[in-house]
DNA sequence: AAGTACCGCAACCGCCCCGCT
DNA sequence: TAGCGGGGCGGTTGCGGTACT
């Protein structure tokens, strides 16, 4: 007997979610809590696949989700975590409680990949005539996956990776345990979110309010959905991108702080060492942390510290330098 | 102003993991 | 112990918006 589909293919609506559907879903989850997704569509009166409901909730409606521009700090964490963990977006997202794995994945694919590629090519040109080992080491610090490594080093790489993952988890555990008297060994981002944001559905109402704020009842259901959604996004501060000059400045600052050694001639071990977090970046971190209500980022400073710590930054650099 | 190309993101698809029986 | 099924995850797609010609 074959496995039945999670939902009937017939009569199941696909495509963009309407505000009405969002409201139905959020109302249901507020009342019953997330979980048992198989029953959610029927119980909530939605003609949607259970998976679709779950995704909509986790990627869009869940409380505490931050949308819009990624901060430099978030970018750095994503870059470093991607180097460390590969394309394990859920794992990466667990360290960025306000971002979803889908968001991070999209951001990586659309922004950071290009950014790093661009940086890689520019640096390759810059160092073409000089010793290449330096730049190789730098950019090999951001492998897309362990497959990029030679098989002879893979075992070693994996052991180090596992060690660092464990250390990261421990650091995060320590950081989070100070927020919540009930420590958890499970680090799904949902759990972290719940710990970091004590009121379970605190921002649901906010999400819905924002949703409704820009929602004009549509006359033609098929045509206004995306417009509404964009308005929703805009109303949530997702003014997608800053003007280009500002973005350029930010990128430069990012590159300087992230890859401060690029184009310079310091010793190889100085890659992304603590000087990679420039004073202005440190300052930025401080300022950036404060608006995070509940002190979430402040509480995570241990992890940040770990992430930007010399030793851990140098791990992938030094290790990966051997893989090319 | 119109047509085209490109980009970003929400959502879907299909595989995998893991708990339950 | 094997099979089932729910849920999670990463990769991919398709659509709408924007930039360019």
Look at residue A16 in the predicted model and tell me its pLDDT: 87
The answer to whether the C-beta of A110 is closer than 7 A to strand B is yes
Picking from A42, A46, A70, A57, the residue whose alpha carbon sits closest to that of residue A241 is: A70
Alpha-carbon gap, residue A183 to A177, rounded angstroms: 5
**Nucleotide B20 C1' to residue A36 CA (A):** 14
The answer to whether the C-beta of A198 is closer than 7 A to strand B is no
Picking from A95, A82, A69, A85, the residue whose alpha carbon sits closest to that of residue A305 is: A95
**Nucleotide C9 C1' to residue A281 CA (A):** 33
**Nucleotide B16 C1' to residue A32 CA (A):** 28
Instruction: Tell me the CA distances in angstroms from A117 to A21, A78, A144, A147, A288, one per residue in order.
Output: 40, 15, 11, 18, 27
**Four-CA torsion A71, A74, A79, A81, nearest 10 degrees:** 180
Phi-psi domain of A263 (left: phi exceeds 0; alpha: psi -120 through 50; beta: other):
left
Look at residue A126 in the predicted model and tell me its pLDDT: 62
Alpha-carbon gap, residue A310 to A29, rounded angstroms: 43
The answer to whether the C-beta of A44 is closer than 7 A to strand C is no
**Nucleotide B17 C1' to residue A62 CA (A):** 24
- Going by the DSSP 8-state scheme, the letter that residue A277 receives in this structure is S
The answer to whether the C-beta of A159 is closer than 7 A to strand B is no
* Structure-token match 């098989």, residue found: A151
Q: Which nucleotide is nearest to A58 (CA to C1')?
A: C8
CB neighbourhood size of A186 (10 A)? 8
Picking from A20, A7, A111, A101, the residue whose alpha carbon sits closest to that of residue A62 is: A101
Look at residue A10 in the predicted model and tell me its pLDDT: 63
**Nucleotide C21 C1' to residue A80 CA (A):** 39
- Using a cut of 0.85, tell me whether the model's pTM lies above it: no
HSE-up of residue A44 (Cα within 13 Å, Cβ side): 30
The answer to whether the C-beta of A49 is closer than 7 A to strand C is no
Tokens of A261: 């050694």
Residue nearest to nucleotide C13 (CA to C1'): A15
Residues 6 or more apart in contact with residue A124 via CB below 8 angstroms: A135, A139
Look at residue A118 in the predicted model and tell me its pLDDT: 72
The answer to whether the C-beta of A107 is closer than 7 A to strand B is yes
Given a cut of 70, the residues of chain A with pLDDT beneath it are 1-10, 120-324
Tokens of A260: 């401060």
**Nucleotide B4 C1' to residue A110 CA (A):** 21
Contact A49, A41 (CB under 8 A): yes
Look at residue A109 in the predicted model and tell me its pLDDT: 84
Window 38-97 of chain A: CB closer than 7 A to strand B: 48-49, 51-52, 55-56, 59-60, 67
* Structure-token match 């310091």, residue found: A266
Phi-psi domain of A68 (left: phi exceeds 0; alpha: psi -120 through 50; beta: other):
left
Q: Which nucleotide is nearest to A103 (CA to C1')?
A: B9
Tokens of A138: 């730098």
């Amino acid at each position: 007997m074959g496995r039945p589909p999670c939902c009937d293919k017939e009569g199941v609506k696909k495509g963009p979610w309407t505000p009405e559907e969002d409201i139905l879903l959020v109302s249901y989850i507020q009342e019953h809590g997330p979980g048992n997704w198989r029953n959610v569509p029927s119980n909530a009166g939605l003609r949607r696949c259970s998976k679709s409901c779950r995704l909509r909730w986790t990627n869009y409606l869940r409380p505490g989700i931050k949308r819009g521009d990624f901060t430099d700090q978030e970018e750095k964490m994503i870059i470093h975590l991607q180097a460390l963990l590969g394309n394990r977006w859920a794992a990466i997202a667990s360290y960025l409680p306000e971002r979803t794995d889908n968001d991070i994945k999209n951001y990586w694919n659309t922004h950071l990949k290009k950014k790093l590629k661009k940086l890689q090519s520019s640096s390759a040109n810059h160092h073409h005539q000089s010793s290449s080992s330096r730049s190789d080491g730098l950019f090999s610090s951001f492998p897309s996956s362990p497959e990029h490594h030679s098989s002879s080093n893979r075992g070693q790489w994996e052991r180090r990776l596992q060690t660092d993952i464990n250390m990261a988890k421990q650091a995060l555990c320590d950081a989070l345990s100070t927020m919540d008297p009930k420590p958890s060994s499970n680090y799904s981002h949902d759990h972290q979110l719940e710990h970091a944001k004590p009121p379970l559905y605190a921002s649901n109402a906010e999400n819905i309010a924002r949703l409704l704020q820009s929602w004009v009842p549509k006359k033609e259901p098929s045509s206004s959905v995306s417009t509404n959604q964009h308005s929703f996004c805009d109303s949530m501060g997702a003014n997608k991108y800053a003007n280009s000059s500002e973005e350029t400045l930010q990128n430069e600052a990012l590159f300087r702080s992230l890859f401060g050694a690029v184009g310079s001639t310091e010793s190889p071990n100085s890659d992304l060492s603590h000087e990679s977090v420039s004073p202005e970046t440190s300052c930025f971190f401080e300022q950036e942390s404060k608006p995070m209500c509940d002190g979430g980022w402040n509480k995570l400073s241990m992890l940040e510290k770990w992430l930007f710590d010399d030793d851990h930054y140098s791990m992938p650099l030094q290790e990966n330098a051997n893989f090319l």
